[in-house]
Amino acid sequence: DAGITQSPRYKITETGRQVTLMCHQTWSHSYMFWYRQDLGHGLRLIYYSAAADITDKGEVPDGYVVSRSKTENFPLTLESATRSQTSVYFCASSDQGTGQETQYFGPGTRLLVL
Amino acid sequence: AQSVSQHNHHVILSEAASLELGCNYSYGGTVNLFWYVQYPGQHLQLLLKYFSGDPLVKGIKGFEAEFIKSKFSFNLRKPSVQWSDTAEYFCAVNPYGNNRLAFGKGNQVVVIP
């Protein structure tokens, strides 16, 4: 049972470069989420998706783009990376949208923008 | 916008001591409440959750949390901690019918053997 995987696990990039973080889940969950985790801020929602081709902004969407052409994949793209986007990025999924479901998290991607 | 407050970001205690982590939220409607835990090097995972019924909720590994509606609080407790409880603990809230979680800043708990 692979669950939810993220790649790469670690990434170093330079300011201005485009970076794509991948997220894949094997449960066919409808909902998927991207969070960033920063010291002193906890986890903050970047984008989420209720189903394939349906995405919406979270708390901190600026500078990020998402797509969801297939249910199992939810890539996050930093169009032009900035140092403030240095963070740990977590992908998560859940199977319904009532608000009572557990969200299942991936292992995270540590991104360093130089 | 709703917010979630966790106090005492760093907690250090000895094995067998009792642990209580506070969580307060600012949202006036019906909410669903969660505590997630992140052990060193591991994924975030659910510790327990509350959405209705008995306000005292029991979770995994001997943890429990109490929902006090009048205080907008959902405090986490464990009567006797173990070294393996060393982790970061996050309180999270979402309004009923909306599964967009708002997380607190977390509590880093270190248990000394």
Report whether pLDDT(A79) > 90.
yes
- Alpha-carbon distance A45 to nearest alpha carbon in chain B (angstroms): 8
Strands A10-13 and A109-113: parallel
Contact flag A97-B49 (C-beta cutoff 8 Å): no
Say what the pLDDT of residue B97 is.
63
Nearest-5° angle of CA B77, CA B83, CA B88? Answer: 60
Residues of B whose CB is below 8 A from A103: 46, 99, 101
Q: Is the Cβ pair A94, B99 closer than 8 Å?
A: yes
Partner-chain contact A99 B96, CB within 8 Å:
yes
**Shortest Cα distance from B85 to chain A (angstroms)?**
19
pLDDT per residue as tens, chain B (113 positions)? 668 999 878 999 999 999 999 999 998 788 899 999 999 988 899 999 998 899 999 999 999 999 999 999 999 999 999 999 999 999 999 876 677 899 999 999 999 99
Q: Which residues of B touch A101 (CB under 8 A)?
A: 99
The residues, ordered by sequence, that sit 6+ positions from A47 with a Cβ below 8 Å of its Cβ are A33, A34, A55, A56, A57, A58, A61, A64, A66, A76
Q: How far apart are CA A113 and CA A36, in angstroms?
A: 14
CB contact under 8 A, A102 and B51: no
- Cα distances from A64 to residues A14, A35, A77, A80, B20, in angstroms, run 16, 11, 6, 9, 37
Of B60, B65, B109, whose CA–CA distance to B85 is shortest? B109
* Nearest CB partner across the interface for B99, out of A42, A98, A104: A98
pLDDT tens, position by position, A27-55: 999 999 999 999 888 899 999 999 999 99
Q: Going by C-beta distance under 8 Å and a sequence separation of 6 or more, which residues neighbour residue B113?
A: B15, B83
